[in-house]
Amino acid sequence: MKAVYPGRFDPVTYGHIDVIKRAREIFSQVIVLCAEEPEKNVVFSTKERVEMLREVTAKLSGVEVSSFSGLLVDWLAKNEIKVIVRGLRAVSDFEYEFQMALTNKRLYQGAETVFLMTDEEHFYFSSSVVKELARFGRCPKGFVPAPVERRLKEKYGFD
């Protein structure tokens, strides 16, 4: 069974990779979908985010990376996939994700959302924290894979 793990991934973190690996243990194929969000304030373009995702998941069998624009449910229906994987870190994540899961199910009959708790090792950080560290000149080593760290350094010039 195929599943989709959608997100902004700006940038991809070890927390995201953890969810991808664990989802792959459950599903035969995981499609990591990078959201094209031109109205959002993103650091990396969709192309850059897809490239980073492909680079850091290259050795994971059964993982594909793509991008989408518009509503996720429209992409799911077009591709005949009904399972959405979402990672949760805290109760605040659940509230938003629960609302989205119910909305998606209403818009696309049969859509199911599977929630995976983020491993405690990655529980406390997010892409936003990584970007803030980089923006203030701190290396996010340990939060992101080396290829992502390199790209953040190119953007922000930290040591």
Among residues 2, 21, 22, 89, the one annotated as catalytic is 89
How many residues appear in the chain? 159
Residue 99, C-beta contacts closer than 8 angstroms, at least 6 positions apart: none
Closest CA to 33 of 15, 49, 56: 49
The verdict on whether 155 is a catalytic residue reads: no
What is the Cα–Cα distance from 15 to 131, expressed in whole angstroms?
14
The verdict on whether 127 is a catalytic residue reads: yes
CB of 34 within 8 A of CB of 66? yes
The verdict on whether 122 is a catalytic residue reads: no
Among residues 28, 40, 61, 128, the one annotated as catalytic is 40
CB of 14 within 8 A of CB of 89? no
Among residues 82, 122, 127, 151, the one annotated as catalytic is 127
What is the Cα–Cα distance from 75 to 81, expressed in whole angstroms?
9
Q: Which residues are catalytic?
A: 16, 40, 89, 127
